[in-house]
């Protein structure tokens, strides 16, 4: 029995009919063609499916679509402005923080939330914030460096205004 729900995804209003058992990850990937959110384990162990729910990083594989009703979701597709990359994305690209890329959407979104919450995160804070996002390719080093660089760029931009 499907329910009609409304939610905002990447600043766009959606109205969708979902069964209660549909997870937010399934809704995004299977129904809305937003495949940037990845599935690594589907039980909340790897963080590949991270999205921001009202600005907070969550496992979309463990959030029912119905629980996201009336709320705002940000997926990786909503981070860049067209082809203009967000500073965090630029930093990831320039610093070599991307190898296979599968953990990247989750890392970018989680980092975005971190910097909004803590504009000047220390290395320790960055490692802690990302400790639920597994990466098997990079050893995290360049990801940490990218987040630090992005935080500095964003701080500088703020300061300049």
Partner 1 sequence: MSYRVLNSRVPRVDAFDKVTGRAQYTDDLTRPGMLYCAILHSPLAHARIVRIDTSRAAQLKGVKAIITGRDVPDVTFGVSPARYDETILAVDRVRYVGDEVAAVAASDLETALEAVSLIEVEYEELPAVLDGLHAMEPGMPLVHEKYARNLCAEVHWNFGDCDAAAKEADLIRTDTMSSKMQDAAFIEPQAVLAETDGAGRLTMFSSTQAPHYIQRTLAMALKLPLEKVRVVKPAVGGGFGPKASCSTAELVTCMLVLKTGRPVKMTFDREEVFLHSRARHQFFHTMTTGVKKDGTLLFLRHHCILDGGAFASFGIATVYYAGSLLGGPYRLKNMIYDGYRVVTNKPACGAQRGHGAVIARACFETQLDRIAEEIGMDPLELRLKNVMGTGETTCNELYMSSLGMRECLEAVRDASGWRQNRLARRSEATPPLPPPSIEGAEDSGKGGEGKRRGIGVACGFFVSGAGYPIYRSTTHHATVVTKVNELGGSVIVESGAADIGQGSDTVLAMITAEVLGIDVADVKAITGDSDLSVDLGAYSSRTTLMAGHAAKEAAEACRDRILASVAKRLGVEAADLYLEDHRVKSRRGSLDFHSIREEFSREHFGFTDLPADGELTFREAARVAFLDCGTIVGTGSYKPPKLGGSFKGATVGTSPAFGCSAQVAEVEVDLATGEVSVLKVTGAHDCGFAINRTQVEGQMQGSVSMGMGEALMEEVHFDGRGNILNANLAEYKIPTSLDVGQLNAIIVETIEPNGPFGAKEVGEGAIMPTIPAILNAIYDASGVRITELPATPERIILTGKEETE
Partner 2 sequence: MRLPPFNYFSPTRLEEALAWLHEHADESVKILAGGTDLLVDLRRKVIPPSHRPPRDYNPAAGRWVTQAPEEFRPPLTLMALSRTPELRGIRELPDGIHIGAMTTIRELEESDLVRERLGGLHDGAAQLGSPLVRNRGTYGGNLCNARPAADTAIPTVALGGRVILKSIRGERNLLLDDFITGPGVTLRERDELLTEIVFPFNTDNPSATPCASGYIKLANRKSLEIAVVGAAAWILFGEEERVVSARIALGAVAPKPLLTIPAAESLVGCRLDAPAIAEAARIAAEYAKPISDHRGSREYRARMVEVLVRRVLCRCRARALNLESVP
| Cα gap 158→93, rounded to integer Å | 22
2 binds partner 2 (CB under 8 A): no
Nearer to partner 1, 70 or 110 (CB): 110
57 binds partner 2 (CB under 8 A): yes
Least Å distance, CB 16 to partner 2, is: 15
Least Å distance, CB 65 to partner 1, is: 16
Helix spans in 85-139 (H)? 87-95, 104-117, 123-129
Query: Three-state DSSP class for 31?
Result: helix
Beta carbons within 8 Å of 28's beta carbon, 6+ residues apart? 9, 34, 35, 37, 51, 60, 73, 75
Restricted to residues 60-119, the positions that interact with partner 2 (CB under 8 A) are 62-64, 66-67, 110
Among the listed residues 139, 155, 156, 157, the single contact to partner 1 using CB under 8 A? 139
7 binds partner 2 (CB under 8 A): no
Nearest C-alpha neighbor of 147 from the set 116, 104, 117, 108: 108
131 binds partner 2 (CB under 8 A): yes
Query: Three-state DSSP class for 1?
Result: coil
Name residue 80's beta-bridge partners: none
Summarize as ranges the residues that interact with partner 2 (CB under 8 A).
1, 3, 19-21, 23, 26, 42-45, 47, 50, 56-59, 62-64, 66-67, 110, 128-133
């Amino acid at each position: 029995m499907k329910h009609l729900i409304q939610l905002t995804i990447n600043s766009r209003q959606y109205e969708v009919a979902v069964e209660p058992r549909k997870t937010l990850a399934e809704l995004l990937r299977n129904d809305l063609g937003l495949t940037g959110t990845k599935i690594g384990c589907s039980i909340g162990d790897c963080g590949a499916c991270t999205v921001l729910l009202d600005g907070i990083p969550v496992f979309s594989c463990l959030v029912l679509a119905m629980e996201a009703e009336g709320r705002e979701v940000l997926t990786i597709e909503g981070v860049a402005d067209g082809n203009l990359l967000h500073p965090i994305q630029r930093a990831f690209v320039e610093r070599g923080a991307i190898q296979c890329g599968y953990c990247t959407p989750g890392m970018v979104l989680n980092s975005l939330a971190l910097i909004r919450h803590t504009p000047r995160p220390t290395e320790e804070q960055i490692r802690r914030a990302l400790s639920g996002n597994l990466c098997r390719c990079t050893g995290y080093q360049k990801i940490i460096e990218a987040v630090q660089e992005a935080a500095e760029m964003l701080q500088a931009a703020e300061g300049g205004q």
